[in-house]
Structure formats: structure tokens, C-alpha cells
């Protein structure tokens, strides 16, 4: 037996088997220059992934992991991984006593809105989001007063307080469908100014007459890409396909071959034949595709979200062992019910 972790002891054989399980996945991660995944590095994290997986059973917990968190979380301990929409569905269906949300705080709040009976835990309370933190409920109430006839639509990257003020919530996978279906001509879309620009263009392409007004938030990852990188890379790598997220600027999305949600981008790359892809999004998504479609080749271009990278195996283990009060998501019931209305309306309109 090896003395390995705080609560559990695992045999050398268990650790070796776990290291091999991890390596079979992580060996394909190439874009991650922060780690070099080999049998030794997998052996070094195996006791921790074994302990977390044992703790999940003991505490009746599930781990939801956003595609942007570190690959050892996604492939080592997560029960579900995906984009905001997929994870909201998983949170809604979760029957566990505890949900550990490895992502950022607004996502854990969304899980709490959908699964009030569960104890929802965030590994690091500081894992905010530049978009969600750009607008308060009070600021949105002022905007609503300025646009009284508008349908109020919030991107899922918003706080529970903001969701509670909205008519409908959207994700990047259903935003165009829902905005197009709303009866109001004027749409107050918050908090992403760049996604609002992309909605305006998409509605025009679809021949749908909408007036889109927005607040001034941006994602600090997706608003950083340089359009010159696209033209230079296309010259160097003929046949390159450029894939981007609607949180990017119009300079980027208008030059991309595909623009879509995290889930949409994964599907596009998996089903498209091309010699190279460049993903203008968070690097975690590239790492996921590298693992799931190792035959695809990527040109570097992605960026890291500092908030998503606050998640770690150690913090997940500690939160499962004994969460600190600030790691547990608490929402006032009246606020939760108001926020739930906007999310339920999204599920109805998206299906």
C-alpha cells in the first residue's frame, strides 16, 4: 500500500492502472504547453483522481466541468463536460446530493437555480467572468427603464440577479433561434456587446427585422484575437479552416469559416475535412478536440481564460472533503424562482 492522500490509501497497482487510464486520454493533448503528459505526470496525479472519484461516491456528488477547464479535470474526474447549455441540462437532471461545478461562479449559480435541492459547490469562489461581472441587477433595471418596449434577453454568462430581470435567457447555441422567435422588434441583449453585434448581423442575414441594443460587457478572452492572425495563417497554411465563437469581435467572426457555440465548434471540426484548423476561442476546447479527434491538426491561436484556470484537482478534492462557506452557492428563493423563469423559457423556446 502507498501512503498517498489525505483520506484514502491506494495500492501501487491501482495507481498504475489509473495512470494508464489518464495517459490514454491526456497523451493526445498537444496545445497544452503548461504540462507534458507522460506516464510519470499521470502517475503524479493518479492518487488525486482516485481520491476524488472515491469521494464522489461517498458524498453522492457529481462533477460538472466546462470544456475550458484543465484536461486532467475533464478526463480524470468529471461526470459531465460540455458547454453552458449542455451543463445546464445536466444540472437540471442531476439527482445527486452535491454538484461540484468546475467552471466559473455564474455557471454554479445556474446549477443552483436548476437544482435547488442539491448543495452546489465551486472549487474557487474567485472564478468570476468578465462578462457576467460587467452588469448588476440594478444596472439592468436602469436599462430596462430606458427601453420599456424591448424584450429583455440575457446571455447565460450573467449573474442570477441579472437572469431574474430577464424575459428569457440564451446560450451561444440557441441565441439566434430565440431572438428570431421573439415577437418584440426591439431586443435588449445583455451583457455581451460583441455577441449583440453578431446577433444584429445574423438577423439581417435571415431577413428578420430586429433592433438590438445592449450593455457594454465583453469576454476578456474572446475580444483579444487579432484579425491579422487569420490572414497571415491562411497564407501559410492553405486549406486552413478558421473557427470562432460569437463572443469574438465582428472582425474575427466575419473572417471565420464557422462561428458557433463551444458544442457547435466541436461538431464542426469533427465533421469537417481540412488539413488544419485554427480555433479562436479558449484553449481548453482545442485540448478536448485533440483528445476526442486526435487525427485533426491545429494551428495555435487559442487563449487561456484565467478564471477557468483557477479550477484544479486539489481544490475540487478539498471542496468535496469539506467545502468552505464561500464555496457553497446560496440564493434567496424569490430571486432563484425569478431567474428560473428566464431559464425555463429558454428550454421551451430552444426545443
Give contact residues for ligand SF4 (rule: CB under 6 A).
Answer: 104, 129-131, 157, 219-222, 282, 305, 307-308
Closest approach of Cβ 78 to ligand SF4, in Å? 17
The answer to whether the beta carbons of residues 310 and 102 sit under 8 Å apart is: no
Distance CA(132)–CA(186), nearest Å, equals 22
Task: State how far Cα 288 lies from the chain centre.
Answer: 12
CB nearer ligand SF4, residue 74 or residue 308 = 308
Closest approach of Cβ 63 to ligand SF4, in Å? 18
Q: What is the DSSP string of 128-176?
A: --TTGGG--HHHHHHHHHHSTTSEEEEESSS-HHHHTT-SEEE-TTTHH
CB nearer ligand SF4, residue 130 or residue 327 = 130
Distance CA(247)–CA(131), nearest Å, equals 10
The answer to whether the beta carbons of residues 192 and 218 sit under 8 Å apart is: yes
The answer to whether the beta carbons of residues 196 and 183 sit under 8 Å apart is: no
Sheet holding 61-66, edge to edge: 80-82, 61-66, 98-102, 119-121
CB nearer ligand SF4, residue 115 or residue 159 = 159
Closest approach of Cβ 132 to ligand SF4, in Å? 7
Distance CA(163)–CA(339), nearest Å, equals 5
Which residue reads 492518487 in cell numbers?
47
CB nearer ligand SF4, residue 49 or residue 218 = 218
**Element spanning 261, H or E:** none
CB nearer ligand SF4, residue 128 or residue 227 = 128
CB nearer ligand SF4, residue 122 or residue 308 = 308
Distance CA(96)–CA(283), nearest Å, equals 30
Closest approach of Cβ 83 to ligand SF4, in Å? 10
Closest approach of Cβ 104 to ligand SF4, in Å? 5
Closest approach of Cβ 23 to ligand SF4, in Å? 28
Amino acid at each position: 500500500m502507498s501512503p498517498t492522500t489525505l483520506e484514502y490509501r491506494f495500492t501501487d497497482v491501482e495507481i498504475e492502472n489509473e495512470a494508464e487510464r489518464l495517459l490514454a486520454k491526456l497523451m493526445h493533448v498537444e496545445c497544452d504547453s503548461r504540462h507534458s503528459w507522460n506516464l510519470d505526470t499521470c502517475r503524479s496525479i493518479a492518487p488525486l483522481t482516485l481520491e476524488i472519484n472515491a469521494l464522489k461516491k461517498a458524498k453522492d456528488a457529481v462533477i460538472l466541468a466546462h470544456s475550458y477547464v484543465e484536461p486532467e479535470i475533464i478526463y480524470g474526474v468529471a461526470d459531465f463536460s460540455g458547454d453552458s447549455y449542455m451543463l445546464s441540462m445536466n444540472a437540471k437532471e442531476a439527482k445527486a446530493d452535491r454538484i461540484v461545478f468546475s467552471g466559473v461562479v455564474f455557471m454554479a449559480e445556474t446549477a443552483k437555480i436548476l437544482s435547488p435541492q442539491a448543495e452546489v459547490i465551486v472549487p474557487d469562489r474567485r472564478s468570476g467572468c468578465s462578462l457576467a461581472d460587467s452588469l448588476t441587477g440594478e444596472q439592468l433595471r436602469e436599462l430596462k427603464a430606458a427601453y420599456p418596449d424591448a424584450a429583455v434577453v440575457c446571455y447565460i454568462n450573467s449573474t442570477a440577479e441579472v437572469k431574474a430581470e430577464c424575459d428569457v435567457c440564451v446560450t451561444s447555441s440557441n441565441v439566434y433561434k430565440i431572438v428570431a422567435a421573439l415577437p418584440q422588434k426591439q431586443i435588449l441583449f445583455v451583457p455581451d456587446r460583441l455577441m449583440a453585434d453578431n446577433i444584429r448581423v445574423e438577423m439581417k442575414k435571415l431577413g428578420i427585422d430586429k433592433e438590438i441594443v445592449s450593455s457594454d460587457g465583453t469576454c476578456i478572452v474572446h475580444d483579444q484575437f487579432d484579425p491579422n492572425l487569420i490572414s497571415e495563417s491562411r497564407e501559410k497554411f492553405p486549406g486552413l479552416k478558421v473557427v470562432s465563437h460569437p463572443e469574438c469581435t465582428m472582425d474575427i467572426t466575419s473572417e471565420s469559416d464557422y462561428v458557433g457555440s463551444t458544442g457547435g465548434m466541436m461538431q464542426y471540426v469533427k465533421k469537417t475535412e481540412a488539413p488544419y484548423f485554427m480555433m479562436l476561442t479558449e484553449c481548453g476546447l482545442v485540448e478536448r478536440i485533440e483528445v476526442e479527434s486526435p487525427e485533426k491538426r491545429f494551428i495555435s491561436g487559442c487563449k487561456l481564460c484565467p478564471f477557468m484556470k483557477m479550477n484544479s484537482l486539489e481544490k475540487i478534492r478539498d471542496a468535496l472533503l469539506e467545502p468552505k462557506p464561500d464555496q457553497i452557492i446560496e440564493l434567496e428563493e424569490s430571486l432563484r424562482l425569478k431567474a428560473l423563469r428566464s431559464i425555463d423559457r429558454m428550454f421551451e423556446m430552444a426545443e
